[in-house]
Amino acid sequence: MWNSLLTPEFYNSILRATTPILFATLASGVAAKSGICNMALEGILLFSALFGVIFSSVTHSFLLGILLTMVVGGCIGLFMAFFILNMKTDEILAAIAINLIATGGTVLLLLAFSGDRGSSTSITNVSAPVLVIPFIQDIPFIGKILSGQNVLTYLALIMVVVMHLFIYKTPLGLKIRAVGENKNAAESVGISSRKIQYISLVLSGVLCSLGGYFLSGGYMNMFTKDMSAGKGFIALAASSMGGDTPIGGFLVSMLFGAAQAFANMMQLTTIPVELIQMIPYLTTLIGLAIFSYIVMKRKAKLSGK
Amino acid sequence: MKKAMVFALSLTMVLSMAGCGSKKETEAPATEAKTEAAKETEAVKETEAVTKAAVETEGATEKTTSEGTYKAAFLIPGTLGDKSFWDSGNDGLTKLRDELGADVFDFKVEQMGGNAADMANYEPTFLDYADSGEYDVIITGSWQCVDGIISAMEMYPDQKFILFDEEFDFEGNGNPETMYNIMFKQNEVSYLVGAEAAMMSESGIVSFLGGMDGKVINDFLVGYIQGAKDTNPDIKVAVSMVGDYEDSAKGKDLSLAMYNAGADCGFNVAGNAGLGLIEAAAETGKYAFGVDSDQAALLPEYAEFIPTSALKNVGDALYTSIKRDMAGELPYGTTEYLGFAENGVGLVEDAHYEEIVPEDVRTKVDELQEKITSGEIEVFSSSTMSTDEIEELKASVAVQ
């Protein structure tokens, strides 16, 4: 079992487990930066996992499939923004509605498209391809980790940098942060907070839909009922633990991914399974404790001066 | 304005729930998963039934609800179209109706939905059906329904019930004389899968992916381990539990970990999450045994990696139970365990199976099945084992 920790497969499984959570974490981060808690990630993941399968099978193309899925993700974000911003619905209520629609709605749509209720086995979908990087793949050990991952895994990692630059280095990113920090102050200098929040929620939906596509076309090669299995909520936790920043969110989702992959490996030992299944959550708790301790220290230092 | 929105929103939620259960109250033969040919014959049958019913209504209107018709209500905590449990039950009842005619035996399916939000409706649904008094028997299955059925039993002591695939505690719950409980000996069929996996394994390691560490899953597990161990005393069994029945991605990761650790035959007993094992098998070119329905037929893309599937014959069990009840021979107040001897469980043995599994293995499996049927081999069961004994058994074959 300990030898397994030294195999490239273990590190691959970390990256695989991290990818969907990372997309959703970034999605949660950008919404949070604009001052909205996007709790509908779970539902968006599930919807886009289903639509990824449907669109890629209809278009027979990965690119078209994922583009259309992103449109669906954006539309759900738009839908949510409309209710929250125009209709003044409570954001948590709106999110619960979307999550509930997702559990029932995906089954209904699945039934309509495939005649099945449990999984999309009768639909032939196009999964995101695996990318083999020449030269790098020849490096022993590391090559097997850095190369041969799913395209979407690479995209997720790239998106961390892109989102970081977007939020901290662009005018629009500045506006998003301004609205999130203080809506009235932002409005007073002529920023339309509604427009900015619309943009962040749509962006959030699009980012999250990439994670959903990966679930059914990359991680698995089919849609199965309720396959998001709480990943949206884990991402929500990861994002807030990482201070809603892309880099912080990335680190925490890697931690979650690693804890999950480690727990998966641990199941091969004779340690009781109940203990092992606690690992990811225990990691979260410990991580959270360390994190808030650091924040507290820093605050104490600042106020002390 | 805000109130109006809250209202609109709750309407959306209600609609969404209605959406997921939109097929509720379907009359029995409307199973989606039928081939075109089957559909046509079904349609013909339906028209026949309609004409028949029409003729009957012309003759005597009361006859359809008269005492001569044995009526059953099949309440399922899920939906039809699962290609497994509920479909199998529906097929069994449909077969009986086709055989006896709708004026002798008729049944109604109520799909209560399997989402967490639907669970609150189970109890009222049971009460409604028991209250109507129209049904000779109310049939349901699995653990989610037990609480609802107990309260219906207590309120309607004359209503008869059949509960399958969950052990019913007759002590102090309603009128025991109204409950007939069917359990499947999943450990017996699991024994065969274990034996077969051990024979087909070249690495000497087989794997097991379970949903949750619970009684039924452990019954599968102990049978599987025993079957594998009896066939090859040196066998190692890697065991992983997903923790739920939905997370197929996690199921795949767990299975990949087991296959990468050397296992080359696996058995999935984890609902939808178990599909992860099948994908992992296909990805690594190993074998995965199916469960609950003929998964090789359901997943043609992966069929070459699925030698066979372990089945619980819900349909056959209901078919025989109703027949026995009509003859007044159904032992209410008891739990019956259906194994190979009662045709309650079985392996899929078709052309596909013969193609993948070598003949000597198949003959050996048939011999083992006979030995189990005759009682020569006594298969371990989680219901008679303590947690420690199960852990001990697991440890004895653990991959170190």
Q: What is the CATH number of the domain that holds B147?
A: 3.40.50.2300
Quick check: helix, strand or coil at residue A27? helix
Regarding whether B39 and B85 lie in a shared domain, the answer is yes
Regarding whether B99 and B215 lie in a shared domain, the answer is no
Q: What is the pLDDT of residues B14-64, one digit of tens each?
A: 555 444 444 444 444 444 444 444 444 444 444 444 444 444 444 333 334
- Is beta strand A130-131 parallel, antiparallel or unpaired with respect to B137-141? unpaired
**Residue B239 CA: distances (Å) to CA of A11, A196, A268, B210, B336:** 21, 50, 7, 8, 29
Kind plus residue range of the DSSP H or E element containing B266: strand B265-269
Domains and CATH numbers, chain A: 3-304 (1.10.3470)
At which of B184, B216, B238 does a domain end?
B184
Question: What is the average pLDDT across A60-84?
Answer: 95
**Residue B102 CA: distances (Å) to CA of B28, B56, B97, B148:** 12, 11, 6, 28
Range among A199-203, B84-88, B162-166 with highest mean pLDDT value: A199-203
Q: Which is it for the CA torsion B98, B99, B105, B110, positive or negative?
A: negative
Question: What is the average pLDDT across B191-205?
Answer: 94
Q: What is the pLDDT of residues B297-318, one digit of tens each?
A: 888 889 999 999 999 989 999 9
In this predicted structure, what is the pLDDT of residue A305? 56
Question: What is the average pLDDT across B86-109?
Answer: 91
Whether B80 is in a domain gets the answer yes
Q: What is the pLDDT of residues B326-343, one digit of tens each?
A: 998 899 999 999 999 888
Q: What is the pLDDT of residues B216-226, one digit of tens each?
A: 899 999 999 99
Question: What is the average pLDDT across B129-143?
Answer: 90
Please provide the average confidence, as pLDDT, over all residues in chain A: 90
In this predicted structure, what is the pLDDT of residue B23? 41
Give the residue from chain B lying closest to A49, CA to CA: B249
* Predicted confidence (pLDDT) at residue B134 exceeds the cutoff of 70: yes
Instruction: Give chain B's domain count.
Output: 2
At which of B144, B159, B184 does a domain end?
B184
Regarding whether B261 and B219 lie in a shared domain, the answer is yes
In this predicted structure, what is the pLDDT of residue B176? 84
Quick check: helix, strand or coil at residue A150? strand
In this predicted structure, what is the pLDDT of residue B143? 82
Regarding whether B96 and B124 lie in a shared domain, the answer is yes
What tokens appear for A270 in the block? 């004779």
In this predicted structure, what is the pLDDT of residue B84? 76
Q: What is the pLDDT of residues A73-129, one digit of tens each?
A: 999 999 999 999 999 999 999 999 999 999 889 989 998 888 777 788 888 888 889
Cα A24 from Cα A231, distance rounded (Å): 8
**d(CA B247, nearest CA chain A) in Å:** 5
Regarding whether B372 and B238 lie in a shared domain, the answer is yes
Quick check: helix, strand or coil at residue B333? coil
Regarding whether B223 and B358 lie in a shared domain, the answer is yes
Quick check: helix, strand or coil at residue B107? strand
In this predicted structure, what is the pLDDT of residue B246? 85
Closest CA to A219 of A229, A233, A204, A207: A229
Whether B3 is in a domain gets the answer no
Q: Which residue has the tokens 């993941």?
A: A45
Q: Which is it for the CA torsion A42, A43, A44, A47, positive or negative?
A: positive
All residues at 6 or more sequence positions from A163 whose CB lies less than 8 Å from its CB, including other chains:
A26, A29, A30, A207, A246
Whether B342 is in a domain gets the answer no
Residue from the list A121, A264, A265 with its beta carbon closest to the beta carbon of B299: A121
Q: Which is it for the CA torsion B286, A50, A15, A138, positive or negative?
A: positive
Interchain contact, B252 vs A104, CB within 8 Å: no
Whether B329 is in a domain gets the answer no
Burial label, B336 (beta-carbon count in 10 A; 0-12, 13-18, 19+): middle
Cα B180 from Cα B280, distance rounded (Å): 40
**Residue A77 CA: distances (Å) to CA of A41, A83, A91, B113:** 10, 10, 12, 28
Q: Which is it for the CA torsion A11, A16, A19, A20, positive or negative?
A: negative
Whether B8 is in a domain gets the answer no
Interchain contact, A93 vs B213, CB within 8 Å: no
Regarding whether B180 and B192 lie in a shared domain, the answer is no
Q: What does B158-224 look like in DSSP terms, one character per residue?
A: T-EEEEESS----TTSS-GGGEEEEEE-HHHHHHHHHHHHHHH-SSSEEEEEESSSSHHHHHHHHHH
Q: Which residue has the tokens 């994002």?
A: A239
Q: Any idea which of A32-41, A99-108, A136-145, B160-169 has the lowest mean pLDDT?
A: A136-145
Our separate counts of H helices and E strands in chain B read 14, 12
Regarding whether B148 and B220 lie in a shared domain, the answer is no
What tokens appear for B301 in the block? 């893309």
Q: What is the pLDDT of residues A9-51, one digit of tens each?
A: 889 999 999 999 999 999 999 999 999 999 999 999 999 999 9
Residue from the list B12, B81, B82 with its beta carbon closest to the beta carbon of A97: B12
**d(CA B103, nearest CA chain A) in Å:** 31
By the 8 A CB rule, do B209 and B258 touch?
Answer: yes
Interchain contact, A100 vs B17, CB within 8 Å: yes
Amino acid at B108: K
Regarding whether B168 and B58 lie in a shared domain, the answer is yes
Whether B333 is in a domain gets the answer no
Kind plus residue range of the DSSP H or E element containing B336: strand B335-338
What percent of chain B is predicted at pLDDT more than 90? 50
**d(CA A19, nearest CA chain B) in Å:** 12
Cα B157 from Cα B154, distance rounded (Å): 6
Question: What is the average pLDDT across B220-239?
Answer: 94
Regarding whether B83 and B29 lie in a shared domain, the answer is yes
Q: What is the pLDDT of residues B285-300, one digit of tens each?
A: 999 999 988 889 888 8
In this predicted structure, what is the pLDDT of residue B50? 46
Q: Which is it for the CA torsion A116, A119, A120, A121, positive or negative?
A: negative
Interchain contact, A267 vs B239, CB within 8 Å: yes
* Predicted confidence (pLDDT) at residue B73 exceeds the cutoff of 50: yes
Regarding whether B100 and B60 lie in a shared domain, the answer is yes
A-interface mutation test, from B3, B83, B239, B250, most A Cβ less than 10 A away: B250
Quick check: helix, strand or coil at residue B72? strand
Greater pLDDT, B180 or B32? B180
Kind plus residue range of the DSSP H or E element containing A299: helix A273-304
Quick check: helix, strand or coil at residue A216? helix
In this predicted structure, what is the pLDDT of residue B10? 60
Residue from the list B20, B82, B241 with its beta carbon closest to the beta carbon of A108: B20
Regarding whether B35 and B111 lie in a shared domain, the answer is yes
Give the residue from chain B lying closest to A97, CA to CA: B13
* Predicted confidence (pLDDT) at residue A65 exceeds the cutoff of 70: yes
Q: Give B21's contacts in chain A (Cβ within 8 Å).
A: 104
Q: What is the pLDDT of residues B351-362, one digit of tens each?
A: 999 999 999 999
At which of B184, B217, B243 does a domain end?
B184
Please provide the size of chain B in residues. 400
Q: What is the pLDDT of residues A195-232, one digit of tens each?
A: 999 999 999 999 999 999 999 999 999 999 889 988 99
In this predicted structure, what is the pLDDT of residue B6? 58
Please provide the average confidence, as pLDDT, over all residues in chain B: 83
Q: Give B83's contacts in chain A (Cβ within 8 Å).
A: 116, 118
Amino acid at B23: K
- The residue segments making up the domain with residue B45 are 17-184
In this predicted structure, what is the pLDDT of residue A96? 94
